[in-house]
Structure 1
């Protein structure tokens, strides 16, 4: 068995028959002493490796933008979010929905964490080290300032898309995202 490791971006190309263990990211995190995200994408053949590498990079960007924890991620894990993050002519308008709170990073992080925790206010509060009422207050401010009804399915979808597209714009405009 042979493997090729790109140390610059941490990409590994391994034979198709080598399925990564589900705890690969945890093993790497333990060995390296830092949280690790791993994206698993199969390439049908050598000519498909560059596209698989781009897809893996995008999967990792989406997991960071959505506030998902480090670990092993596949496209199937973030399929909707991946799709929502693809730029099109309406992208700038969707991303701009969060402009009224763009100067409030604590509000954006609360929103990101709240969505990552399936809109569970207590889980969000625990993850952020806040009181649940503080989470409610921050979410209410976001709703008031953006007009997005976060409690509705459509509002949650708009918020997810806006976060993803903002992250895409930030990444393409000024370099890679700084989120872990």
Structure 2
């Protein structure tokens, strides 16, 4: 639409100059718009009605000017709707409510102009309708852009505060200073989760953008973590895993429910998920992070099934994996198997199967006699008999120690 001041007579509908008619009714119309908004959208009842009336007045006033000059709105003339949209974003008013409010205002203004339109008014009615659509388009773009810009700023500030809080918790820094600076509050306790995530089908599929697939996976993960207690989780996570601190109430969590949550998480991600968890008060988070990191490394190195693990689930292995004078000596018991990966693989599979030679053979895709032969070779080389109950504790401890000293 082009500016053409003075080139056309005033737009008229039902014998009325539409711009003058709108100017004459602008006060009553602005009040009616504010009343309808409060009636139809409860969130607008909580906002100052005088402010809403003033915004409606200036919006209708701008449209009146555009009708009189038969031109589109300039960007500079939409500064106030943009500023208002930013305030609504800050107040938490949904964008759909903001846009709906402007549509109601323009709709009511347009209805007041078109009443009593006659067949001979068709040309001017079409021009007015075209100007209405153009005004709404420009207004919606300006309002949406300003709203999202403000939300992005707010989210960036919030995320920055969360990152600062998480860093302080993990590092054992002065938490009071961070809380004062960010305005965030400390939870009574945190569920500390160290996570290892496998690839899902989207990431493996040829022709799929791996970055997009990974981001989609992370959004699902963050959403599920936030739902554990209804509080946003503090996270440092990429597509392969990371660390999450989930705010908890003072009572102890139900670990069976948490196991179910981790199982649900795995299904939502479409990928294997190993998690190591512990609950700690804010001051004890650094120690809990160290512990869950060690537990996660232990369960992934030993090829345990996906799921949630606590210290109580891996007590013996955890203790044997701690550095000590005995650890290297235990690992050395299996030293003769170095350079013989087929023997080590078969021994681990045999222990994991509960000493079931047929299950071991099936997992390795070999004959059961091959398993027997390899177990005899283990005995010959190490002096430890995998079929002798007396030797099994030493073999199990040696496997854990060997994985730990790597």
- TM-score, normalised via structure 1 length: 0.81
SS at match of 1:92: helix
SS at match of 2:244: strand
CA deviation after TM superposition for structure 1 residue 129, in Å: 2.4
In the alignment of these two chains, the number of paired residues is 169
User: In structure 2, which of residues 271, 277, 283 is the aligned counterpart of residue 34 of structure 1?
Assistant: 271
Distance in 2 of aligned mates of 1:74 and 1:129: 33
Distance in 2 of aligned mates of 1:125 and 1:25: 31
1:127–1:28 distance in 2 versus 1, CA, 3 Å: farther
Residue 245 of structure 2 aligns with which residue? Answer: 13
Residue 164 of structure 1 aligns with which residue? Answer: 400
Residue 113 of structure 1 aligns with which residue? Answer: 349
Runs of 4+ in 1 over 6 A off after TM superposition: none
1:72–1:123 distance in 2 versus 1, CA, 3 Å: farther
SS at match of 1:149: coil
Residue 181 of structure 2 aligns with which residue? Answer: none
Q: CA RMSD in A?
A: 2.1
CA deviation after TM superposition for structure 1 residue 46, in Å: 1.0
Residue 336 of structure 2 aligns with which residue? Answer: 100
SS at match of 1:160: helix
Residue 201 of structure 2 aligns with which residue? Answer: none
Distance in 1 of aligned mates of 2:260 and 2:372: 34
Contact preservation (8 Å) 1:148, 1:159 = yes
Contact preservation (8 Å) 1:65, 1:164 = no
The structure with more radius of gyration: 2
Task: Decide which structure has greater helix share.
Answer: 2
Contact preservation (8 Å) 2:361, 2:371 = yes
User: Structure with the greater relative contact order (CA < 8 A, sep ≥ 6): 1 or 2?
Assistant: 1
Structure 1 stretches lacking a partner, 5+ long: 171-180
CA deviation after TM superposition for structure 1 residue 91, in Å: 1.7
User: In structure 2, which of residues 369, 381, 387 is the aligned counterpart of residue 151 of structure 1?
Assistant: 387
- TM-score, normalised via structure 2 length: 0.39
